[in-house]
Structure 1
Amino acid sequence: MESLDLRVLEDALAWRNAGHAVTLVTVVQTWGSAPRPPGALLAVRDDGVVSGSVSGGCVEDDLIARTKASVNAAGGNAAALKSPAMITYGVTQEEASRFGLPCGGTLRLVQEPLRDTAWVAELLTRTADHELVARTLVLSTGAVRLSSAVRGQAMQFDGSTLRTVFGPKWRLLLIGAGQLSQAVARMAAMLDFEVLVCDPREEYAAALGNASHGLAGVRRIAGMPDDVVRELVPDAHTAIVALTHDPKLDDMALLEALQSNAFYVGALGSRRNQAARKQRLAEHFGLSAPELARLHGPVGLALGARTPAEIAVSIVAELLQVKNSAAHGAAVPSNEAALT
């Protein structure tokens, strides 16, 4: 489950706490071309305000109309809204054309009124603690149950019970707060990563506090990089990129990162510098060949990047490539990284 869907639940919870009736809509099955995958989530407020998407805009207007009709029928009482129900769009070519579904696609959804918000608050708390959580919805009653999930567990729907998995927000720890790190931080934040920056050098870290740099929401973590990585306890939703170009800082962070469960570990430096770094980590710290093979270095895709902004694009592009390949269980294509 993408972090975008966690934001949908955050909005839904806020709306219910403010007294609005809210309907949740989940994609459970698609045929043909579909803009949003199974598990994608939409929240519709009683006044038609929406959060999220289930079709890229094709059927949202109809869902808003359905929600308003249900709320009116219930007299504005969220507790009186009907139980979860199935909705299918694009059964015929004419209907697919009417709703703008591409290539004659068909979309199957579960629409449910959000009555009890306790499970939403609990799910958001558990995912904020970097826990994978499965939500089971019984359509006949609307009952919701939360349980622990494992990585790779997919959405399941048998017509009567819907089980979706919500993962923690993807996070990125940057070692270094220089110009390149700031560019990477901006891009990663736009992609909804939780961005953390560690740099014990005060002259660099001070830039993070300047709002004119557009780094709002990027959080600095104090301490030495190796201590910060260790205390973070990187999991399969964590990426770590060392960008100080100072071996005293980068190498110690990489030592911890390469032995962690982080899905991506990268480091700035030329091929020659990377070879020397791997030799140091092997000879002085005992890292194994499989651990060293996890290092993306030189970091980034081979885009011919030269400026900090261009290099940041190459880094974030490779980060997304690895993230998306891991999330779908696919092999990561081999790419020669850019010299930096």
Structure 2
Amino acid sequence: MDNVDLNVLRQLVHWRAEGRRVVLGTIVRTWGSAPRPVGSWVAVRDDGAIAGSVSGGCIEDDLIARIRAGALTLKLPELVRYGVGAEEATRFGLPCGGTLELLLEPVTEHSACEELLRRLDAGQRVRRELDLATGVVSLFDEHGADVLRLSDTQLISNHGPRWRLLIIGAGQLTQYLAGMALALDYQVLVCDPREEYAEDWAVSGTRLLRGMPDDVVQEFRPDAHSAIVALTHDPKLDDLALMEALKSPAFYVGAIGSRVNQAKRRARLAEHFDLSEAELDRLHGPIGLAIGARTPPEIAVSILAQLTAERYGAQGSGAEAGCEV
């Protein structure tokens, strides 16, 4: 679930708390080009107010018109299709020939939306199973990849952060980086065994770990959807994390520090931790894209920009950001 759809859920829960009737739409299939991916959400309130998007706006307009006309008084989930032909595709804002199916469900006390939001706000991965015959939703812990599967009897979808970020150090820069990363669909964990930093950590939606960095990285079990960033400036902590991270499948490993300090770090890691040249070459440092960043929030932006470039295989320039911090 991306941050856009999380905001849809948040708005939906707010409307429900006000006693409003809400219909939730989920894109379950697309053919040809489609403006939004499978799994995207749109919520329509009983007076036509809308949250989220599944098209360029025309499908939303149709849903608004139908609910205002009383045509969406659903009792159970219902599957609708938009844009079967070129004429309809044009009418509903889809590229010519594009088609999408939308599962519309009336949101009730059986939809478990409040509990789903609570779990997602806690950074959990959740599997949502909607029974099409009853409209009842069941929630389960989930650790696998993204799934959206529609059958004759149920809709199964996975929600929650698809990417994980482990940050070593709970200083000021980490507060900005953690907050921004949450908005980019990361589950954020922060490791800092130092009492003076850990006691004041208070970024909602993140989890603070108090173990030593090497142990925490091992327990984190990095995979190809994981990033590890060392921000303490303390070799005793950063190096412990890096020696494990650089041997892992993590898609990104980085550490803050000047070019001079990065060279010293590389020498230490090679000498004391038996890391190969190939493993050392995976280390991003100085960390972040070179955007002229100086302040902690600017440096956080540069780091997340580099993580995003790595995620999508984009070619970004090297970093000087925060190199003397």
Q: Same fold (TM over 0.5)?
A: yes
Question: Percentage identity across aligned positions?
Answer: 51
**Equivalence for 2:242:** 254
In 2, are the aligned partners of 1:16 and 1:117 still within 8 Å (CA)? no
Alignment of 1:1-340 (within 5 A): 1-70=1-70, 74=73, 81-117=74-110, 119-158=112-151, 160-168=153-161, 172=165, 174-175=167-168, 184=177, 187-188=180-181, 191=184, 226=213, 233=220, 239-255=227-243, 258=246, 264-269=252-257, 273-285=261-273, 292=280, 294-301=282-289, 303=290, 305=292, 307-308=294-295, 312-323=300-311, 325=312, 332=313, 337-339=318-320, 340=323
How far apart, CA to CA, are the structure 2 residues paired with 1:235 and 1:117? 36
Question: Aligned AA for 2:235?
Answer: P
8 Å contact kept, 1:3–1:169: no
* Partner secondary structure for residue 59 of structure 1: helix
- Return closer, same or farther for 1:258/1:31 CA change in 2, 3 Å cut-off: same
Query: In 2, Cα distance between the equivalents of 1:41 and 1:114?
Result: 13
- 134 and 333 in structure 1: CA distance in 2 versus 1, 3 angstrom threshold: same
> Judging changes above 3 Å, is the alpha-carbon distance between structure 1 residues 159 and 221 closer, same or farther for their aligned structure 2 residues?
closer
2 CA distance for matches of 1:131 and 1:220?
A: 11
Change (3 A) 1:294 1:161: farther
Taking a change above 3 Å as real, the CA distance of residues 82 and 235 of structure 1, as seen in their structure-2 partners, is: farther
Q: Residue 317 of structure 1: CA displacement?
A: 1.8
Which moved further from structure 2: 191-200 or 84-93? 191-200
Q: CA RMSD in A?
A: 4.2
Residues 267 and 136 (structure 1), Cα distance of their counterparts in 2 relative to 1, 3 Å cut: same
Distance 1:65-1:234 versus aligned 2 partners, 3 A rule: farther
Contact conserved, 1:198 with 1:228, CA < 8 A, in 2? no
Gaps of 5+ in 2: none
Structure 1 counterpart SS, 2:80: strand
- Native 8 Å contact 2:287 2:303 kept in 1: yes
Q: TM-score, normalised by structure 2?
A: 0.73
Counterpart CA distance in 2 for 1:319 and 1:242 is 14
User: For 2:217 and 2:56, how far apart are their aligned partners in 1?
Assistant: 40
Tell whether the 8 Å contact from 2:125 to 2:161 is kept in structure 1 after alignment. yes
Instruction: Tell me the distance in 2 between the aligned counterparts of 1:246 and 1:298.
Output: 15
Name the CA shift for 1:46/1:105 in 2 (closer, same or farther; >3 Å). Answer: same
1:65 counterpart SS class: helix
The offset of 1:148, in angstroms, is: 4.2
Deviations along 1:4-45, whole A, 9 cap, x unmatched? 323322332332233221111001122333221001112222
Give yes or no for contact 1:133–1:149 (8 Å, CA) kept in 2.
yes
Structure 1 stretch 246-255 or stretch 44-53: which is displaced more?
246-255
**Deviation larger for 264-273 or 8-17:** 264-273
Preserved contact between residue 196 and residue 218 of structure 1 (Cα < 8 Å): no
Residues 27, 109 of structure 1: 8 Å contact kept: yes
8 Å CA contact 1:86–1:109 kept in 2: the answer is yes
Residue 55 of structure 1: SS of its match in structure 2? coil
Secondary structure of the equivalent of 1:135? Answer: strand
Counterpart Cα distance in 2 of 1:188 and 1:182: 10
Contact (CA 8 Å) 1:221, 1:228: kept in 2 or not? no
CA contact (8 A) 2:77 2:135 kept: yes
Amino acid paired to 1:337? G
Worse overlay, 146-155 or 231-240: 231-240
| Residues 129 and 168, structure 1, Cα contact 8 Å, conserved in 2 | no
Q: Give how far 1:111 is off.
A: 0.6
Number of corresponding residues: 318
| CA distance 1:241–1:14, shift in 2 (3 Å) | same
Unmatched tracts of structure 1, length 5 or more: 75-80, 210-215, 326-331
Give me the whole-angstrom Cα distance separating, in 2, the residues matched to 1:108 and 1:73: 16
Q: Distance in 2 between matches of 1:118 and 1:89?
A: 25
